[in-house]
Chains A and B, each alone.
Chain A
Amino acid sequence: MQAQQLNAPKKKLQLTYDQQKTIWAIIFLLPWLAGLILLFLKPFIESLRFSFFNLTPQIGYIAEEFVGFENYLFALNSHTTTNSSFRLEILNTMSDALFNLPVLLIFSLFIAVLLNMKFKGRGVVRAIFFIPVILNSVAVTAALGGGDAISQILEQQGISKLFDLEFYLLSGGIPDFLVGFIVGLIGRIYDILALSGVPILLFLASIQSIPGHLYEAAKIEGATPYEMFWLITLPNVTPHIITVTIYALVDTFMTSTVSTIISDTLAKQQWGLASAMAWIYVGVVLLLLVVIFILAKIFKIGDSHYEH
């Protein structure tokens, strides 16, 4: 550093690599920063402000009336829809997310490993697993009659009756609580399949970018596929586990009833209330994220293992 500073007056353009890096970082971030400031921060602050106001549309302008935390209190305590309330839905979505996430992660990593193996018709199978990614769109779902596209159609077509698992298991003399558990898990397969399309592709891509020589070396050393998974695939995939978790969490909330309630409130032109609801939603997601990050730190998931 000292020598560099001495040299600096002579050759002004001679920057250290770290200085170069900072300048390039700013250049690289420029489009995103511009977007953040121009397109995001302004609406972001505006929406935070809205949540403390009662907004009513008038001809040509919007009338504002400051109400403090009333919108938040109303959303949490008194807001109800025909068959549930905002608070209930938020709690439901939270517990759903927490229960589904681990299953979703393990399931999609497992499927990604399977899809990465070499077998006949791999391309077709991968394309089939891509269908839920497309089917999860609002427009397609609306066209197919609302609800979770896949599970909805399955119910419509009576596939649940096709395999009346509960009946078979109960008549097979298996205890009630176990049947409940198994049926619950199987009932979730459709939900998890619908959610797992994107995570599977993310894991697949991350497995694909593991340097091939690692596996070659391991094979020469005589490692079994099992060892290769635990010692090569999994450590290399860990930085992506957090990505997938965040995606899945956000997706769970975005497709939940909570999101629908906010949209409905917005459509009723109760903009202040809708903003307050959105901020409660953000608070909850942030809380869950903090929990996940702390867990990840404790279990050392998500660090690049090249940095150690």
Chain B
Amino acid sequence: MNINLNANLETGILTLTDERKRKSAAIRRTRKFQAILISILRAIILGGLCFVILYPTIQQVLLALRAPGDANDPSVIWIPKNWSLMNFEIASIAMHYWNALLNTIKLSAVSMVLQLASTALAGYAFSRLRFKGSNILFIFVLITIILPPQALSLAQYLYFRDIQLIGKESSIYLMSGLGMGIRSGIFIYIFRSFFKGLPKELEEAAQIDGANVFRIFWNVMLPNARGAIVTVSLFAFVWQWNDTYFVKIFEVAKEEFPILTMELLNVAENVRVALFYTGGLELIGQEIWSNPLFLATISNVSALLMMLPLLIMYLFVQKQFVESIERTGIVG
């Protein structure tokens, strides 16, 4: 480089700029080559992993789409011989699907909002409002994270029986609102690390402008922690959706308040009863009863039905992961 520069100084500026142009063109070419290489590698890696994840799912979906009568047809591996949505109908009857779906949405949404509020406040206090003893308190957050839920279940059940919240959905809301819901500790930790990552200057600038602590939290810090909010809401919703543990110990799921997870766990038993009472029996024929493969199919279909709303929701929500500033292309 130096030698080049010296030699060019004698001939004058013109060649110097030419040299620069040539160099920058070369850099641009390598950049372009790198970009193509990266995108090819990325396509291979992501494509492969997507295949691994999707392979069983696609097979489940295709198995679900065949007629109930074909349940034990070994020649059907991928493409069903007789396409049918019957399995979905049967599963949705057996699961009390629409009713359970509404209840589950309600339960998940309310507890998500409550968890979001309690954990965001706690996370902010632990990251930005340090005071004497806050580190000791934070150890308790860690303990709530690592303590296996089974360790508390008996004592928790007895306690909730004493305050007469067993069998009520408000038991779940109480836990979420007070930051003790499903993995609330992890949420506090997530918020804490996000707030920690925000530059101190933001806070100082607002402080100089005369904003009090709550205003700084609400108007400055919270909008900057959108990533944390989206992530925590997503997990809070999904984990409550999938929860069987709390729903079981607090006996929230009842006949008049069906919940998807519990319906899914009992679907194999429920399917006979449900079909008998709704007259679905004629739809599929008697001999299906004694077929374990048919019951397995219905279980799988029910699992798909339970997952589906979450996937659809996620397709919409994931756009929120893209921040307003279009800079994502540069990253990595």
Residues of chain A having any CB pair with chain B under 8 Å: 17, 20-22, 24-26, 28-29, 31-36, 38-40, 42-44, 46-47, 50, 111, 113-119, 123-140, 142-145, 150, 153-154, 157, 159, 189-190, 193, 198, 201-202, 204-212, 215-216, 219, 224-225, 228-229, 233, 236, 239-240, 242-243, 246-247, 249-250, 253-254, 259, 262-263, 266, 271, 274-275, 278-279, 281-282, 285-286, 289, 304, 306-307
On whether the beta carbons of B148 and A128 are closer than 8 Å, the reply is no
Contacts of A124 in B (CB 8 A): 315
Contact A140 B264 (CB under 8 A): yes
Contact check: which of B119, B193, B214 meets A239 at CB < 8 Å? B193
Decide: A253 near B148, CB < 8 A? Known: A144-B300, A239-B193. yes
Instruction: Evaluate contact between A123 and B235: CB separation under 8 angstroms.
Output: no
What's the nearest-Cβ distance from chain A to residue B161, in Å?
A: 12
**A interface secondary structure, majority:** helix
B148 touches A259 (CB 8 A): yes
**B254 near A: Cβ within 8 Å?**
no
Closest chain B residue to A284, Cβ basis: B146
State which of A33, A119, A131 has its C-beta within 8 Å of the C-beta of B311: A131
Contact at B196–A304, with CB atoms within 8 Å? yes
Q: How far is the CB of A124 from chain B (nearest CB, A)?
A: 8
| Chain B residues within 8 Å of A282, by CB | 143, 146-148, 151
**Contact sample, A vs B, 11 pairs, CB 8 Å cutoff:** A21-B131, A39-B180, A125-B50, A134-B311, A138-B245, A139-B303, A206-B193, A209-B224, A209-B227, A246-B189, A259-B150
Do residues B314 and A130 form an inter-chain contact, with CB atoms below 8 A?
A: yes
Cβ–Cβ < 8 Å partners of A263 in chain B: 150
Q: Is B225 an interface residue (CB 8 A)?
A: yes
Q: Once bound together, how far apart are the Cα atoms of A64 and B265, in whole Å?
A: 34
Are A29 and B180 in contact, CB atoms less than 8 angstroms apart? no
How far in angstroms is the closest Cβ of chain B from A119? 7
> What is the distance, in angstroms, from B104's C-beta to the closest C-beta of chain A?
11
Residues of B within 8 A of A304 (CB): 196-197
Judging by beta carbons under 8 Å apart, are B193 and A242 in contact?
A: yes
How far apart are A176's CB and chain B's nearest CB, in angstroms? Answer: 26
Complex partner residue of B330 from A43, A208, A228, CB under 8 angstroms: A228
Residue from B117, B184, B186, B332 within 8 A of A114 (CB atoms): B332
CA distance in complex: A169, B103 (Å)? 52
Interface size on B, residues (CB 8 A): 115
Residue of A31, A233, A236 with most partner-chain B CB within 10 A: A31
A216 touches B193 (CB 8 A): no
Complex Cα gap A29–B299 (Å): 43
With A28-B129, A209-B224 as known contacts, state yes or no: A216 contacts B179, CB within 8 Å: no
Q: Contacting A111 at CB < 8 Å: which of B49, B54, B118, B122?
A: B49
A235 nearest in chain B by CB position? B197
| B52 surroundings in chain A (CB, below 8 A) | 150, 154, 189-190, 193
Which one, B68-76, B79-87, B317-325, is touching chain A? B317-325
Beyond contacts A134-B310, A205-B228: 6 other A-B pairs, Cβ-Cβ < 8 A, are A32-B184, A46-B155, A126-B318, A128-B54, A247-B186, A306-B200
C-alpha spacing A117/B331, complex, angstroms: 6
Bound-state CA distance A124–B59 (Å) is 18
CA distance A198 to B88 in the complex (A): 29
The 4 closest A-B pairs by CB, nearest first: A35-B178, A137-B242, A278-B151, A43-B155
Interface residue from B43, B53, B332 paired with A225 (Cβ < 8 Å): B332
If the complex has contacts A205-B228, A306-B200, are A139 and B190 also in contact, measured as CB distance less than 8 A? Answer: no
A205 to B302, CA, bound (A): 31
